[in-house]
A and B are shown apart, each in its own frame.
Chain A
Amino acid sequence: MAGGLTYTSVDSTELSTSEKYGEALVELGKNHPDVVALTADLAKSTKMVEFMKQFPERFFNVGIAEQNMFGIAAGMAKAGLTPFVSTFAQFASFRVADQLHSDICYQNVNVKVIATHAGTSFGQAGSTHHAICDVALVRSIPNLTVVVPADGHETYKAVMAAYENPGPYYIRMNRGFDRVLYKDTNYDFEIGKAIQLRDGSDLTIIACGSCVFQALEAANFLEESEGLKIRVLDMHTIKPIDREAIIKAVSDTRRLITVEDHSVVGGLGSAVSEVVVDTGKACAFKMLGVPDEFAPIGLHEDIMSILKIDANGIIEGVKEVMGKDFEEDDDWDDEV
C-alpha cells in the first residue's frame, strides 16, 4: 500500500479523464521499460495514441479480441513486464471475466486494467456499452484492487499508484468529459484511503467517480439553502474500502448516502453497506445509483439527472434521509 503518494503533472487543467490516463501512461513509459500497453482496437478511444507513437515496440493492438488481450497481459506480467490493458469497462469486466479471474487475479500478476467509458458515460451507445454492473463483478474477485477516480487529476494519481503497487488493478474511468474536481494533482492520494472533501455533522455523502463532483455541489447548496452540515467523501478505492472512514461517518453523522454511476446492486453502495452492517450500529442509509434495470440512452449528464445521481438528485436524496427517523441513542458505545 502506497503511503500518501504525491505526483505532479503538468498542463493538466483542461485534460479529460482518459486523456490524463494517456498522459500518465506516457510518463510511466518514459521512466519504466517494463511498462507495456495493450488495447483491443480502442487505442484512440482510450487515449493511448501518444504511448503508441513514443514506444511502438511496447504497444500492442490485438484487434477486437479482449479475452486474448487479457491472457496476453497475464503472460507478459509473468515474465516481469507491467502491462496496462485498456478497453471499455463493460468488456474489461464481463467480456473477459474468466481471464480476469483466473489468468490475472488467481495468478496474482501485475496487470493494470484501465476500464474506460464506465457507468453510463457512453450514454448514447446504450446498454451494451454502459458498464453498470462491472464494479459488482470485479470487486468480488480476490487480489484485485478496484479504483474509481473522480476526475482526470485523480485518474493520473491512481494510474501512478497502480504502477507503484504490485498486483492486479482495475481502474474505472469515464468516457472523458467529466467535471474537474481537483485543481491539480497537488494533494495526498493513497489507495484505500477516502478523501474528505468537506466535513459535516448532519449527514455523509460517500461517492465515487463522476458522482463526487455532483455530491460536493449538492452539499454546498444544502449548506447555503438549508444550513445542513454535510460531510463528503471521495471513496476512490472501492476495494480495499476505507472501513475507518465509513465507521467514522456512521459514528459522527449517523446518516449516510452513497452515490455512484453503477447499479445499486453490488457497487459502492453495497460495499459501504457491508461495512455499516458489520459495525452493528444503526444509521439511516440510502443508495443512489442505477436502479436494478438497464439505463436509458442519452447524454451522460441527462442520464445522471434521470437516475438522480446528479446534484439535484442527491439534494432530493439528502432531504429524504434527513426526514427519516431512527432511534437516537446517546450511549453509542453500548451497541454491538
Chain B
Amino acid sequence: MPLTKQEWLSLEKKVYELRKLTLDTVHWAGSGHIGGGMSVLDMLTIIYHKYANIKLEDPEWADRDRVIVSKGHAGIAYAPVLVDLGWNDKEQLKTFNHTNSKMGIHLDSNKVEGVDFSTGSLGHGLSMAAGSGLAARVQGKNFKTFCILGDGECHEGSNWEAAMSIAHYNISSVISFVDRNGCMIDGKTEDIMKLEPFVDKWKAFGFEVKDIDGNNFKELAEAIDYAYDHPEKPVMIVANTKKAEGIGFMEGDYVWHYGAVDENNFNKCHKALDEHYKKRVARAEKEGA
C-alpha cells in the first residue's frame, strides 16, 4: 500500500520520538553506536509501524513476521523501538550497557522481548534470514523475514554465501536491506575496502535491487511495496543513509560510529533532532500525497 501523507507524517513523528529515545539511551549508557543507530532508525520504524505483521500482546506469536538486525551493534537504536512497542520495561533502557543489564550493545534474543535473533558477530544475519524464510516454506506459512545488514558488514564473505542461497531458493519472503551509510569504525567503506559497484554485486547474485534514500519513508515504502508485489525474485533494498542521520554536526562522519553523549553535547543533540524533525515534516508535507 502506497504511503499516504498522513502515514508519512505519523512515521516522522514516531521516528523523531525514537531518535530522541535513542539519544537518551546513548546518554544513559554513557556512549554507544549512535552513528549506525540513527542511520538505521527509519528502516526499523517503517518495518515495525507500517509493515510487520506482529501482535503487540504476544511478541513470540508463531506466525509473526521476523526482523533480523544483522548489524547487531545497532542495538542501542533497536532496543528503544522494542521498548516503545510495549515490549520490555522502559526503565531497562536506563540500564543499557550497565553491569547485569538485560540490554547490552548487541541485543540477546533470550533476554530482550521482541528480538527475534541474537546478532553481533557480523555476516550472520542474512543466512539466518534465509533459514527463517525456508522454514516458512517448509511449514506452509506466510510470514516475512526482514533482514538489515550494515554496509561495512558486507565485507564478510558469509553474506555472499547467504545471497547465493536466497537467490537459488528464491526466498522472496526475505526482504533484505543494507544500511549504506558509507562508514565503518576505521573510516569510509570505500577507503577501507571497496564495496562498489555495490548495487551491481547484489544484482549479479540474483537480487532485484532498489537503490534508494534510506532516510526517506516514501522511498522505503515504495521499495518494500515492490518486494511485497514481486515474489518472483528476492529484493535487496540498498538504503543509502547518513551516518548519525538527524544530528547535523555528526552526520556522515565515521568518527561517530561509536561515541559518547555527555552533558555538553546532550542538549545540542536534542536541538539538532528538533530541527531535523521540522525539516522532515516539511518534506513530508511537500512530497506526500
Query: Which of B118, B130, B139 has a CB less than 8 Å from the CB of A72?
Result: B130
Give the number of chain B interface residues (Cβ < 8 Å).
34
B117 at the interface (CB under 8 A from A): yes
User: In the bound complex, do residue A102 and residue B161 qualify as a contact, i.e. CB atoms below 8 Å apart?
Assistant: no
User: In the bound complex, do residue B110 and residue A107 qualify as a contact, i.e. CB atoms below 8 Å apart?
Assistant: yes
Query: Which of A60, A63, A78 has a CB less than 8 Å from the CB of B132?
Result: A78
B272 at the interface (CB under 8 A from A): no
B204 at the interface (CB under 8 A from A): no
User: In the bound complex, do residue B130 and residue A71 qualify as a contact, i.e. CB atoms below 8 Å apart?
Assistant: yes
User: In the bound complex, do residue A102 and residue B165 qualify as a contact, i.e. CB atoms below 8 Å apart?
Assistant: no
Query: Which of A75, A80, A81 has a CB less than 8 Å from the CB of B130?
Result: A75
User: In the bound complex, do residue A72 and residue B164 qualify as a contact, i.e. CB atoms below 8 Å apart?
Assistant: no
Contacting residues of chain A (107-125) with chain B, CB-CB under 8 angstroms:
107-108
B121 at the interface (CB under 8 A from A): yes
User: In the bound complex, do residue B134 and residue A76 qualify as a contact, i.e. CB atoms below 8 Å apart?
Assistant: yes
A103 at the interface (CB under 8 A from B): yes
User: In the bound complex, do residue A68 and residue B130 qualify as a contact, i.e. CB atoms below 8 Å apart?
Assistant: yes
On chain A, the residues within 8 Å of B127 by CB distance are 67-72, 74-75, 99, 103
Q: With the chains together, A73 CA to B131 CA distance in Å?
A: 6
User: In the bound complex, do residue A80 and residue B124 qualify as a contact, i.e. CB atoms below 8 Å apart?
Assistant: no
User: In the bound complex, do residue B158 and residue A67 qualify as a contact, i.e. CB atoms below 8 Å apart?
Assistant: yes
Q: With the chains together, A72 CA to B158 CA distance in Å?
A: 11
Q: Which of B109, B121, B131, B132 has the most CB of A within 10 A?
A: B131
**Given A62-B165, A78-B116, A98-B121, does the pair A71, B158 have CB atoms closer than 8 Å?**
yes
B136 at the interface (CB under 8 A from A): yes
Q: With the chains together, A79 CA to B130 CA distance in Å?
A: 12
User: In the bound complex, do residue A102 and residue B118 qualify as a contact, i.e. CB atoms below 8 Å apart?
Assistant: yes
A1 at the interface (CB under 8 A from B): no
B212 at the interface (CB under 8 A from A): no
On chain B, the residues within 8 Å of A99 by CB distance are 124, 127, 158
User: In the bound complex, do residue B158 and residue A36 qualify as a contact, i.e. CB atoms below 8 Å apart?
Assistant: no
**Given A71-B124, A81-B138, does the pair A65, B161 have CB atoms closer than 8 Å?**
yes
A179 at the interface (CB under 8 A from B): no
Q: Which of B126, B135, B164, B165 has the most CB of A within 10 A?
A: B135
27 contacts between A and B (CB under 8 A): A58-B138, A63-B164, A67-B127, A68-B127, A68-B165, A69-B127, A72-B128, A72-B134, A75-B117, A76-B132, A76-B138, A78-B131, A78-B135, A79-B66, A79-B131, A79-B135, A79-B139, A79-B141, A80-B62, A80-B139, A102-B118, A103-B124, A106-B108, A107-B109, A107-B117, A107-B118, A108-B110
Chain B positions near chain A (C-beta within 8 angstroms): 62, 66, 108-110, 116-118, 120-121, 123-124, 126-136, 138-139, 141, 145, 158, 161-162, 164-165, 168-169
